[in-house]
Structure 1
Amino acid sequence: MNNDLKKQIDNKNSSFGFIKTTDAPLQELSDQQKVALNRKANALFNEGKTDLAERIFITTGYSDGLTRVGGVYEKKSEFIKALRLYLLAHNKRKSEPIIKQIAGTVSAMLKM
């Protein structure tokens, strides 16, 4: 896992920043709108359209959906993307191991 993280950090395009998160959607959604959007996002996720599902889950702030999409990224060794979603979901159980791996990778890079 350390080598994968090192590659991601080395290859990260600096013009996009490292990680940007937000808790507040641009507009407030009613509970009914959130339910409808989350149902749509769950269907998209189940169809394998994780990118579209991710956008909706971020909009609604649905932590379970964010965690599931983060898990997809983690399985693909896309740890930075996974971490971003775990942080948005406030899922410490999932985010802390990745943070420790990143800290170890950065520490190893600084020693070089």
Structure 2
Amino acid sequence: MDENKLKSTLSAHSIPEGFIKVTDKPVQALTSEQKAVLNRKGNVLFNEGKYDAACRIFVTTGYSDGLVRIGDIYKKQNRDLIALKYYILANNKNKSQALYEKIASIISILIK
């Protein structure tokens, strides 16, 4: 499928805010080729600092490396809960575990 046809197909199914994804499973209807095209576009957007647009693509395709990089952006901004969401979507247990421990430590301090 060429890029223009892919864009038109995705646009027909989009909503104003873009894709909303809350599970850890990528869109199953995309072929490997379509995912590759989208992930390349997501990487370009990420490198341009357009993190929200890149994030929508990475979540849609289930691109774990991109999701981890989005999580890293949020972690640098001290937005740990949002970072945790993307680490979980990427199935990155090392980064998730570190944030679980940090959050548990904060909760422990708060309840003392």
Partner of 2:110: 109
Matched, 1:43 2:47: no
Partner of 1:61: 62
Query: 1:41 Cα deviation (Å)?
Result: 0.2
Q: TM-score with structure 2 length normalisation?
A: 0.76
| Partner SS for 2:37 | helix
The alignment's C-alpha RMSD in Å is 1.5
Query: 1:102 Cα deviation (Å)?
Result: 0.5
Q: Is the 8 A contact 1:73 1:79 kept in 2?
A: yes
Query: 1:21 Cα deviation (Å)?
Result: 4.2
| Partner SS for 2:49 | coil
1:22-66 residue CA offsets vs partner (Å, 9 max, x unmatched): 122455211011000000000000000011101110000000000
Q: 1 or 2 for the larger relative contact order (CA 8 Å, sep ≥6)?
A: 1
Partner of 2:4: none
Q: TM-score with structure 1 length normalisation?
A: 0.76
Percent identical pairs in the alignment equals: 53
Q: Structure 1: which 5+ runs fail to align?
A: 1-19
Distance of 1:41 and 1:107 partners within structure 2: 38
Distance of 1:75 and 1:69 partners within structure 2: 10
Matched, 1:90 2:87: no
